[in-house]
């Protein structure tokens, strides 16, 4: 199985900040990496697919990058609605696996 | 607009079999671009992929659950289902159904999700 790690596990930030979180795969997954936002008790929402492709309707302050084993999700000019948990997921091979998440809360 | 809706029992006794159904509205289960999957999330924990099915292929199932999981699809009812046997407290979770945006080779991202259904395993 491909193991996914994320860091930091949590971070505190203020509205207007720019934040970056990292996802690392245990082996190369080329660009088969997807990012999700999840708010408490809700279904995850796909933000970025194929490492850097922003989903329709997702604000442009979200951006993804990376390939191989290392990936980043950047949120620029953090908005109040961005405080949530972010998961990465590899779709390179089965079993599909998710990272443990990065929780973004208000400083 | 595509909608997915999970249904099933909220409470299951240990050792029993859990069956969940995902109804797909305004979408086609036989669309060749998509797989249809199940994902769960134990309380306070991360996401675990259970398995996914294509309309005319055998499903992919997480090896960690393979001996207990069956995934099936009913095109006429526009539904796909999950059966999990011999449940224990460790199966207590929020269960989601979702659609994969597949390229035909990889399952792909999960671009549409149901709201989730809580399942508790308890006697």
Please list the alpha-helical segments (H only) found in B1-123.
none
Output the CA torsion B67→A95→B105→A74 (10° steps): 150
Q: What pLDDT is stored for residue B32 in this prediction?
A: 80
* Least CB–CB distance from A97: residue in B49, B52, B106: B49
Q: What pLDDT is stored for residue A2 in this prediction?
A: 98
Q: How far is Cα B89 from Cα B119, in angstroms, rounded to an integer?
A: 10
Give the residue among A17, A9, A10 at the shortest CA–CA distance from A79.
Answer: A17
Q: Decide: helix, strand or coil at residue B120.
A: strand
Q: What pLDDT is stored for residue B1 in this prediction?
A: 84
Give the residue among B17, B35, B47, B15 at the shortest CA–CA distance from B116.
Answer: B47
Q: What pLDDT is stored for residue B34 in this prediction?
A: 92
Q: What is the pLDDT of residues B15-55, one digit of tens each?
A: 999 999 999 998 788 888 899 999 999 999 999 999 999 98
Q: How far is Cα B65 from Cα A1, in angstroms, rounded to an integer?
A: 14
Please determine, for residue B106, whether its predicted confidence score (pLDDT) is greater than 90: no
CB pair distance less than 8 Å for A45 and B113? yes
Please determine, for residue B104, whether its predicted confidence score (pLDDT) is greater than 80: no
Q: What pLDDT is stored for residue B9 in this prediction?
A: 95
CB A79 within 8 A of CB A15: yes
Average model confidence (pLDDT) across chain A: 97
B contacts of A34 (beta carbons < 8 Å): 109-110
Q: What pLDDT is stored for residue B57 in this prediction?
A: 85
- Which chain A residue shows the shortest CA-CA distance from B38? A96
Q: How far is Cα B81 from Cα B97, in angstroms, rounded to an integer?
A: 9
Strand order in the sheet with B3-7: B3-7, B18-25, B79-84, B69-74
Q: What is the pLDDT of residues A28-48, one digit of tens each?
A: 999 999 999 999 999 999 999
Q: Cα–chain-centroid distance for residue A67?
A: 14
Q: What pLDDT is stored for residue A69 in this prediction?
A: 98
Chain A contacts in chain B segment 55-84 (CB below 8 A): 60, 62-64
What is the DSSP code string of A58-91?
A: S-TTEEEEEETTEEEEEE-S--GGG-SEEEEEE-
Please determine, for residue B93, whether its predicted confidence score (pLDDT) is greater than 90: yes
Give the residue among B95, B30, B83, B76 at the shortest CA–CA distance from B57.
Answer: B30
Q: What pLDDT is stored for residue B92 in this prediction?
A: 98
What pLDDT tens digit does each residue of chain A (107 aa) get? 999 999 999 999 999 999 999 999 999 999 999 999 999 999 999 999 999 999 999 999 999 999 999 999 999 999 999 999 999 999 999 999 999 999 999 88
């Amino acid at each position: 199985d491909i193991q996914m790690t994320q860091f930091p596990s949590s971070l505190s930030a203020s509205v207007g900040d720019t934040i970056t979180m990292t996802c690392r795969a245990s082996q190369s997954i080329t660009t088969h990496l997807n990012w999700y936002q999840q708010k408490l008790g809700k279904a995850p929402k796909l933000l970025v697919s194929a490492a850097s492709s922003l989903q329709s309707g997702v604000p442009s302050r979200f951006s993804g990058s990376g390939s191989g084993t290392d990936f980043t999700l950047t949120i620029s000019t953090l908005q109040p609605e961005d405080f949530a948990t972010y998961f990465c997921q590899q779709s390179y091979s089965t079993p599909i696996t998710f990272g443990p998440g990065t929780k973004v809360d208000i400083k | 607009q595509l909608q997915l809706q999970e249904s099933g029992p909220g409470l299951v006794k240990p050792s029993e079999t859990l069956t969940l159904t995902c109804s797909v509205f305004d979408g086609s289960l036989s669309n060749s671009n998509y797989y249809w999957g199940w994902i769960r999330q134990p309380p306070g924990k991360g996401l675990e992929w259970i398995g996914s099915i294509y309309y005319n292929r055998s499903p992919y199932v997480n090896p960690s659950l393979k001996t207990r999981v069956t995934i099936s699809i009913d095109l006429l009812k526009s539904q796909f289902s999950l059966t999990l046997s011999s449940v224990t407290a460790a199966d207590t979770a929020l269960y989601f159904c979702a659609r994969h945006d597949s390229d035909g080779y990889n399952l792909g991202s999960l671009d549409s999700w149901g709201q989730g259904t809580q399942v508790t395993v308890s006697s």
